[in-house]
Amino acid sequence: MTKTVKRKPGRPRSDIVRQKILDAAYKMVMSDGLGRLTIERVASEAGVGKATIYRSWANAHELAMAAFMANPDEELKPTGGSAKHQLKAHLRSVVERFATPRGRQITLTMASTEGENELSKAFRNQVILKSRTTGKGLIQQGIDSGTVSPGVNIEVVLDMLYGPLFYRLLAGHRPLNIAFADSVVVTMFAGIGNDN
């Protein structure tokens, strides 16, 4: 007869290890910048093997961007409220990350890169695409709850949400702040919302 082993309550070990890696990488990005972060340094700081890191991130740039965008405080906050409210909170989080001195430095680094490279791919994968995945879920939640008009083109709505943020981020022609993030959501919902 096979003995069943009960899992102890709490976060799975893989989640704990992942958070240790992100914490170590975040500290390095914030203290030393993107250029000084290496897989070897993060592995040593987090107490894991390099192979463990490479299972989740393709290179140091991807890990750096993932760590920069990770926000443990967000995960602890209870989800709730309307899709509009949650989209505001989500966009505020993105804006707050890039409003920091390190965020501005990353933006300047991105603006100076030429063509397709590891950094631009990491920015697209870990910042743009992951933000869009979160936004897509919230818009779908709005459709399901009836606060967003059914039949909207979700990909176009996502462009409406994130396009202005990343345009201001990279062009730098106007400030990127919380008020702007909120106005993007309010303006978007004026067109697609059912709760006006």
Inside any domain, residue 6 = no
Q: Return the CATH number at 114.
A: 1.10.357.10
Tokens for 22?
């992100």
Name the least confident of 90-99, 101-110, 138-147.
101-110
Q: Say yes or no: 37 and 89 in one domain.
A: no
**Domain enclosing residue 47, as ranges:** 13-69
pTM (2 decimals)? 0.77
Distance CA 17, CA 19 (A): 5
**Region of 57 on the Ramachandran plot (φ > 0 left; ψ -120 to 50 alpha; else beta):** beta
**pLDDT tens column, 5-45:** 454 555 566 889 999 999 999 999 988 888 889 999 999 99
> Which parts of 78-177 fold into alpha helices (H)?
83-98, 101-112, 118-123, 130-145, 154-171
Q: Return the CATH number at 18.
A: 1.10.10.60
Q: What secondary structure letter does DSSP report for 177?
A: -
Q: Say yes or no: 123 and 146 in one domain.
A: yes
Report, as an integer, the average pLDDT of 165-185: 90
Q: How many domains does the chain have?
A: 2
Tokens for 28?
């390095």
Inside any domain, residue 8 = no
Distance CA 66, CA 25 (A): 9
Report, as an integer, the average pLDDT of 144-156: 92
Is the pLDDT assigned to residue 196 strictly greater than 90? no
Q: Say yes or no: 109 and 178 in one domain.
A: yes
| Mean pLDDT over the full length of the chain | 85
Q: Say yes or no: 57 and 150 in one domain.
A: no
Is the pLDDT assigned to residue 130 strictly greater than 70? yes
**pLDDT tens column, 61-85:** 999 999 988 854 444 344 568 899 9
Inside any domain, residue 74 = no
Q: Say yes or no: 105 and 29 in one domain.
A: no
